[in-house]
Amino acid sequence: MNWTHVRLIATSSIPQTLRSGTGVVYAVFTLIFGLHSANLIVRQVETLGATRFTGWVETALNFLLASVTLQGKTTELPELEKFGGLDNIHAWAEYLLREQPALLSAVFILQALLVPLFVSSGAFNQLAGDLQHGAVRYQLLSTSRSSLFFGRFLGMAVFTAALIVALTSVLVLFVGSQLDLYEWGDLIAWGVHCTFALICISLPYVAFCSWISAVVNSPFSALIFTGLIIPAQPFLAIGAMNAWEPLGKLIYLMPWGVQFWLFHPDPAKVVFAALGCLAYTALFLFLGLYFFRKRDL
């Protein structure tokens, strides 16, 4: 693999992404729906008031965090809660809502749920389109398969990171300048942390899209695969856990079970989660490259 080629391919793939329909839709979809979902949460603060809003978000967060960290069957969670089995989750939610700016925490946890969906709808066409039209064969006259694969991944990862930074910057600036609820220092510190977390979350999904895109011959099929597998996987795992508890571990087939630890109060767990996301990225890239090298073009 030639790193100069990787850099050149990554750099040229960003404007190429924008010229392609998927890049335009990805950017518009991510920014508009990201802001729309944030707006729904901010509206809840105005409708419910700060105290009721915090209570409402706390209930939702407890359920979400308990489900993705496999504390128990979803049907048994209320009982677990009654006997103090979810105290660690309560402490986590308390940290997000009392020690950090609650509104930003709520918005960014929602974005953590949405980022994989945005990625699945925007990053699916890294190689599939070129494979369909046979353009890859011409590109491989001047570079290697691994350079092309990593270059496209890197370009898409940087494009996705830029979208996330744009989205989180707008949100932090809006909450800081319009709502007058939190100190600027707290907002910026938590905003930077959450931006880093969202970028970490996006990487394995971009890598997963690279893998699918490298093995499927049509962008539409790649979209169907990524658009179905990524959002459906946690529901399937949690549903399967309700039938037989060990099946809940299926959630670790993708980063869903790891990614929310990036918002944990314990820095060691945050680092562990970030490393987990990078490990998933490496695994998906390895699988993608393996199949891309083996495939008949």
Partner 1 sequence: MASSDRPSGLTALAVINFIFGTLEFLGGIGFIVIRFVAGKMLSNGHEMSAKEREGLQVIVDSSWINVGIVVALAFATGLLLLLSGIGYLKQKRVLGRWFGNGYGIVAITYVTVSLTLLPEELTEGFSIGVIRSLIYPCFTMVLLNSTFRRDLAR
How far apart are the C-alpha atoms of 276 and 140, rounded to whole Å?
32
Residue 127 binds to partner 1 (criterion: CB under 8 A) = no
Give the CB-side neighbour count of residue 163, counting CA atoms within 13 A: 30
- Answer yes or no whether residue 162 interacts with partner 1 by CB under 8 A: no
Q: Contact between 42 and partner 1 (CB under 8 A)?
A: yes
| Sign of the four-CA dihedral 65, 281, 194, 116 | negative
Q: How far is the CB of 121 from partner 1 (least distance, A)?
A: 12
- Closest by alpha carbon to 256, among 155, 158, 114? 114
Decide whether 67 or 226 has the Cβ nearer to partner 1.
Answer: 226
Q: Residue 32, exposed/middle/buried by CB under 10 A (0-12, 13-18, 19+)? A: exposed
User: What is the CB neighbour count within 10 angstroms for residue 200?
Assistant: 25
We find the least distance from the C-beta atom of residue 65 to partner 1, in angstroms, to be 25
Residue 253: how many other CB atoms lie within 10 Å: 14
Q: Which of 3, 12, 21, 165 binds partner 1 (CB under 8 A)?
A: 21
By CB under 8 A, tell whether 36 contacts partner 1.
yes
Among 2, 11, 20, 132, binds partner 1 (CB under 8 A): 20
Q: What is the largest CA-CA distance in the chain?
A: 65
User: Which residue stretch of 33-41, 52-60, 142-150, 240-248 sits at the interface with partner 1 (rule: CB under 8 A)?
Assistant: 33-41
Is residue 190 within 8 A of residue 100, CB to CB? The reply is: yes
Nearer of residues 32 and 192 to partner 1, judged by Cβ = 32
Hunting for tokens 């930077």 — which residue is that? 192
- Residue from 31, 48, 181, 283 in contact with partner 1 (CB under 8 A): 31
CB of 22 or CB of 71, closer to partner 1: 22
Q: Which residue has the tokens 């299926």?
A: 250
Instruction: Identify which of 238, 212, 199 has the alpha carbon closest to the alpha carbon of residue 76.
Output: 238
Instruction: Pick the closer one to partner 1 by CB: 129 or 234.
Output: 129
Question: Could you say which of 3, 12, 32, 98 contacts partner 1 (CB under 8 A)?
Answer: 32
Size, binding site for partner 1 by CB under 8 A: 23
For 50, the enclosing helix (H) or strand (E) is helix 50-68
Residue 31: CB minimum distance to partner 1, A: 5
> d(Cα 137, Cα 96) in Å, to the nearest integer?
50
The smaller minimum CB distance to partner 1, of residues 77 and 194, is found at 194
Is residue 35 near partner 1 by the rule CB under 8 A?
yes
DSSP 73: -
- Contacting range for partner 1; rule: CB under 8 A; set: 38-46, 140-148, 267-275, 281-289: 38-46
**Which of 9, 23, 198, 274 is in the footprint of partner 1 by CB under 8 A?**
23
Positions in 168-207 near partner 1 (CB under 8 A)? 170-171, 174, 178
Tell me if 95 sits within 8 A of 263, measured CB to CB: no
**Binding segment toward partner 1, per CB under 8 A, in 16-24, 131-139, 152-160, 279-287:** 16-24
Contact 160, 122 (CB under 8 A): yes
Q: For binding to partner 1 (CB under 8 A), which residues are involved?
A: 15, 18-25, 27-28, 31-32, 35-36, 38-39, 42-43, 170-171, 174, 178
